[in-house]
Copies of this chain bind each other. A is one copy, B any other.
């Protein structure tokens, strides 16, 4: 029987919660294409208020600028689905929230919005620790809009777990 994506996320969040509680630190999220699904997955867990306080859903460039301080030049030079954008989103989320760890995501969930350079399923993820260099990675997910978002959530929570386990 295949493991459902939901079960995978629940299990990852449980492991993340244990590590964050052990360390006494918090996480924050800055979401574009996942639109709140990472924050929702984290807070589905009872007791998550101990390690999660701030989540930013910045679905437009204006919101990324206003809430997270992403500079206009980044959109002009790199676009919103780019390493520069997710790193700026992460930086803003960590600064505003004061959390120790964070994750930021921006991608093309589809079915519209794809281009030859950034087809549907292209998702940039950045994750890291406050006052440290961020990690970033570009994924090319397959499937429909829901599946692309779900895979982005799984990667985001996995990335946070990787940070917290160190």
Interface majority SS (helix, strand, loop, mixed), chain A = mixed
B35 touches A40 (CB 8 A): yes
- Closest chain B CB from A24 CB (angstroms): 15
Besides A36-B36, A36-B55, A53-B58, 9 new A-B residue pairs in contact (Cβ under 8 A), listed by A number: A35-B40, A35-B55, A36-B43, A37-B40, A37-B44, A43-B59, A49-B60, A53-B63, A55-B55
A112 touches B47 (CB 8 A): yes
Assembly CA distance A111 to B55 (angstroms):
22
Contacts of A137 in B (CB 8 A): none
Of the candidates B38, B40, B60, B110, the one whose C-beta lies within 8 Å of that of A53 is B60
Does A8 reach chain B (CB closer than 8 Å)? Answer: no
Contacts of A44 in B (CB 8 A): 35, 37, 145-146, 149
- Closest chain B CB from A84 CB (angstroms): 20
Number of copies of chain A assembled together:
2
Number of interface residues of A (CB under 8 A): 39
A40 touches B43 (CB 8 A): no
Assembly CA distance A65 to B35 (angstroms):
22
Q: Which residues of chain A (27-68) have a CB below 8 Å from chain B?
A: 29, 31, 33-40, 42-44, 46-49, 52-60, 62-63, 66-67
